[in-house]
Structure 1
Amino acid sequence: LRGTVEGKLLTDEERDTIRPLAANGVPLRTIATAVKRSLGACQRVVSTPADNQRQKRQGSFQSVTEHHQVGFGWDIVHREGQGEALACSVRAIQRVIKDVDWIKYRKINAALALTKRPKEARVRWAEEMALVDGIERRQAVFCDERKRNIDGPGGM
């Protein structure tokens, strides 16, 4: 890639030349031309990041700040069942709830356990359908039970 060519790294001699000149008040442009280096390279030698400057956080903007987290647990408790939407993603809410020690949060299995009675009803229905002749068999409707609640024997 021609556009991304970098120059040689600064040597210790060049750094030792740049620092005293900048400390004595010589402008950085003059130092850059004297050392035959770019202005940005000279600036990186002279300036150090301040300790009190806030470092930029990597990644996307944080949707839930610490200020929002303080009352978040109570908001969720009071809004439960009211249908109000919060202004952040579901995953952000899950992370915050997990951090609140007095709220017990865990995911539940959405599928209900298949008990003995519905199993027997399904087997009975399948046996009845196996005995029906081919013409009526083609008219039987089969579907994905997870998407629709259309089961064979009376909705069981």
Structure 2
Amino acid sequence: MNRSMLFAAAFAGAMTAGVVAAGAVETYELGGSALGTPSVVWYKPGGKDAVAVFVRGTDGHMYAQVGDGQGGGWTGWAPIGDLVLKSDPACVATSGTIIDCVAVGPNSNVFHIRHNAKAFTWSDWEISAASRPARRASRGTRTRMAR
């Protein structure tokens, strides 16, 4: 994909994705509504360029929508797992076919879920290995900012 920037935004709850390239902006109305800020990633399932947008729906669950980012169609919103999130998902393509997402869930634990585009599968939501030790280690500590 010969693009300079991808973005997704929620304007009054309405979802929009876009691509900025060579000074031009292409936007795509994704429909639906969401809470907070969407997360957008570029990846290459099946060797073809794709853009995935992830949001926390109004019911607290994570939803995804995938398009080619070049004017082609979008899949429509699909729920990902059954975890009710307390934060917006943060997602990153760790390779052309793997997407990792994290979000705060029940009991303020950090949860992780992974998409394998080669196998067309999602893992289950799991508590991040760092979630509990990090929370325990931070109890009773103060953060100081240095100038």
**Larger-Rg structure:** 1
Classify the TM-score, shorter chain.
under 0.3
TM-score, scaled relative to structure 2: 0.19
Structure with the higher strand share, 1 or 2: 2
